[in-house]
């Protein structure tokens, strides 16, 4: 948490770089806002600062209807060394407490229920269940503002089993009713359009270049200011397109989905793909101190893959060959085994589809072909999950591949790709040596900065 003087300065300047890093509660109105709120600035004696929206809500404040705290970039949960809390937050945001209970979550984390409650109480001032419920309601508020979905569909998309439970929880958490939100909305959109904000700076042209170099026809499409692709999440299929709006520090995202139950998780996947939650100012200040001789480009973002399995297959097929050659192999895989109505729109192949194929259409060594099938078979059977370190037990997958998967599939901020050809070339061009260990926990961004030196 920033100190009060930093918060005050950012609030008075309405500095968008701090959007999502803290929230402003006003005692005279009972409302909490983002630092960029356009409302008249309150006097400092009436202001309280909170690290998160859930903390402000638990203190009795309701969200502002002008700046909409639900639209703020999420504070990066992986700041610091809170490994257990970070993983708990990720699992809860993925629906662990909607589909299960605290006991099941604690078993997955390998900790006791009491310890988990202590972690959330210290960080947010609420229980894990209260945190989960508030996040559901905050996402529902976003859908009420930005879409024309019926309230019953919004309840389902936000993870509520019934409309009655949704209405009760929303009123208790937001101190407003869903009807209050809809009544104040200025316009309706017939499509599923959402606005996903970030903290500037954001170097879109570099992220776009990376995706354009790796684009697979039918699976992805890239415009000057946009990126789109087909997706699958659980039983939900569809596609999205995100258009960059630098004037508003956001992406305008349009989605077409087969069902809405996984909408919240899908939106978080898109945020991770575009690395919208990174505070690049903090990251780059750290790197400047650690690597003073490296000229840093501001606003570089991690280029995410849609999911961990796709990142893994792409990494295996890209071992020891050029980007162009890897793209040809991935294109063949999508054309032959990808799902979709026609060649214009294809989804990435499922693990089951790859495991069932002999992959003879891929012109590559038999050992590499078997590595892809071995990975798909283990993933489909549940022998391995989304932890790339587990994959090291599979023949043909080494530390480099696991690190690339963590880098692109998870958006892990602290991956050092020391064996990457581009990183080696950039290091060789520097006049001084770099100790990557000092760049932790931002070594992934050091990797990006080095790539940027040679591209």
Instruction: Find all residues with CB under 8 Å of 108, minimum gap 6, and list them.
Output: 91, 96
Q: How far is CA 107 from the centre of its chain?
A: 24
H-state helical runs in 50-203: 53-58, 83-93, 96-99, 102-109, 113-124, 128-146, 151-157, 163-174, 178-184
Summarised one tens digit per residue, pLDDT across range 24-63 is: 999 999 999 999 999 999 999 999 999 888 889 989 999 9
90: tokens are 């990720």
156: three-class secondary structure by DSSP:
helix
The fourth-level CATH superfamily of domain 192-257 is DNA-3-methyladenine glycosylase AlkA, N-terminal domain (3.30.310.20)
Q: For the chain, what are the domain ranges?
A: 4-71, 83-184, 192-257, 279-299+413-455, 305-410
Q: Report the CATH fold assignment for 83-184.
A: Arc Repressor Mutant, subunit A (1.10.10)
Spatial separation of the C-alpha atoms in residues 318 and 312, rounded to whole Å = 10
Q: Is 33 a catalytic residue?
A: yes
Evaluate whether 50 touches 23 at the Cβ level (below 8 Å). Answer: yes
**CA 87 to each of CA 79, 106, 116, 208, 377: distance values in angstroms, whole numbers, following the listed order:** 12, 11, 11, 29, 26
Model confidence band, residue 80 (pLDDT cutoffs 50, 70, 90):
very low
Least confident of 176-190, 314-328, 427-441: 176-190
Model confidence band, residue 360 (pLDDT cutoffs 50, 70, 90):
very high
Q: Is the domain 4-71 a CATH 3.10.105.10 member?
A: no
27: tokens are 């005692």
Whether the predicted pLDDT of 183 surpasses 80: no
Whether the predicted pLDDT of 343 surpasses 70: no
153: tokens are 């569909």
Portion of the chain with pLDDT greater than 70, in percent = 95
Whether the predicted pLDDT of 77 surpasses 70: no
CATH: 2.40.30.70, 1.10.340.30, 1.10.10.60, 3.90.260.10. Which one for 305-410?
1.10.340.30
Spatial separation of the C-alpha atoms in residues 331 and 333, rounded to whole Å = 5
Choosing from 33, 64, 67, 290, which is the catalytic residue? Answer: 33
- Average of per-residue pLDDT across 172-190: 75
Model confidence band, residue 419 (pLDDT cutoffs 50, 70, 90):
confident
Instruction: Find all residues with CB under 8 Å of 379, minimum gap 6, and list them.
Output: 309, 312, 351, 385
Q: Is 70 a catalytic residue?
A: no
- Residue 53: what are its φ and ψ, rounded to 5°? -65, -35
pTM: 0.87
Model confidence band, residue 342 (pLDDT cutoffs 50, 70, 90):
low
To the nearest whole number, what is the mean pLDDT of the chain? 90
Spatial separation of the C-alpha atoms in residues 41 and 28, rounded to whole Å = 12
165: tokens are 């439970």
Side by side, which strands form the sheet with 47-50?
47-50, 23-26, 31-33, 62-63
pLDDT the model gives residue 76:
56
| Closest C-alpha to 261, from 235, 299, 228, 230 | 235
């Amino acid at each position: 948490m920033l100190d009060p003087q930093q918060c005050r300065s950012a609030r008075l300047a309405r500095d968008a770089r701090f959007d999502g890093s803290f929230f402003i509660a006003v005692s005279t109105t009972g409302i909490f806002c983002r630092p960029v709120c356009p409302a008249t600035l309150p006097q400092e004696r009436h202001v309280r600062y909170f690290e998160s929206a859930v903390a402000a809500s638990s203190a009795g404040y309701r969200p502002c209807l002008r700046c909409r705290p639900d639209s703020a970039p999420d504070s990066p949960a992986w700041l610091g060394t809170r490994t257990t809390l970070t993983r708990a937050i990720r699992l809860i945001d993925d629906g662990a407490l909607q589909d299960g209970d605290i006991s099941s979550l604690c078993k997955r984390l390998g900790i006791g229920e009491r310890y988990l409650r202590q972690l959330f109480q210290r960080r947010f001032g609420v229980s894990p269940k209260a945190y989960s419920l508030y996040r559901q309601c905050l996402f529902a508020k976003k859908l009420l503002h930005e879409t024309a979905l019926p309230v019953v569909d919004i309840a389902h998309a936000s993870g509520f089993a019934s409309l009655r439970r949704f209405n009760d929880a929303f009123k208790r958490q937001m101190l407003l009713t869903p009807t209050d939100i809809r009544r104040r909305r200025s316009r309706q959109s017939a499509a599923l359009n959402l606005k996903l904000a970030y903290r500037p700076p954001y170097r879109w042209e570099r992220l776009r270049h990376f995706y354009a170099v790796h684009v697979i026809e039918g699976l992805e499409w890239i415009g000057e200011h946009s990126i789109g692709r087909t997706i699958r999440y659980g039983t939900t299929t569809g596609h999205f397109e995100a258009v960059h709006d630098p004037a508003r520090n956001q992406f305008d995202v349009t989605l077409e989905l087969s069902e809405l139950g996984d909408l919240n998780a899908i939106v978080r996947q898109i945020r991770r793909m575009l690395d919208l939650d990174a505070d690049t100012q903090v990251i780059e200040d750290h790197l400047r101190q650690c690597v003073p001789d490296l000229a840093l480009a501001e606003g570089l973002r991690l280029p995410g893959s849609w999911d961990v399995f796709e990142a893994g297959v792409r990494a295996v097929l890209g071992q020891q060959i050029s980007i162009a050659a890897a793209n040809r192999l991935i294109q063949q895989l999508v054309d032959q085994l990808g799902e979709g109505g026609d060649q214009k729109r294809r989804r990435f192949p499922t693990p089951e589809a790859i495991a069932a194929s002999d992959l003879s259409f891929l012109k590559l060594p038999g050992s590499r072909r078997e590595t892809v099938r071995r990975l798909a078979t283990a993933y489909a059977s549940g022998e391995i999950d989304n932890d790339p370190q587990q994959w090291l037990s599979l023949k043909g997958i080494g530390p480099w591949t696991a690190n690339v998967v963590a880098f692109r599939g998870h958006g892990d901020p602290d991956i050092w790709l020391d064996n990457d050809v581009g990183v080696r070339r950039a290091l060789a061009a520097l006049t001084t040596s770099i100790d990557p260990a000092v760049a932790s926990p931002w070594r992934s961004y050091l990797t990006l900065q080095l790539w940027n030196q040679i591209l």
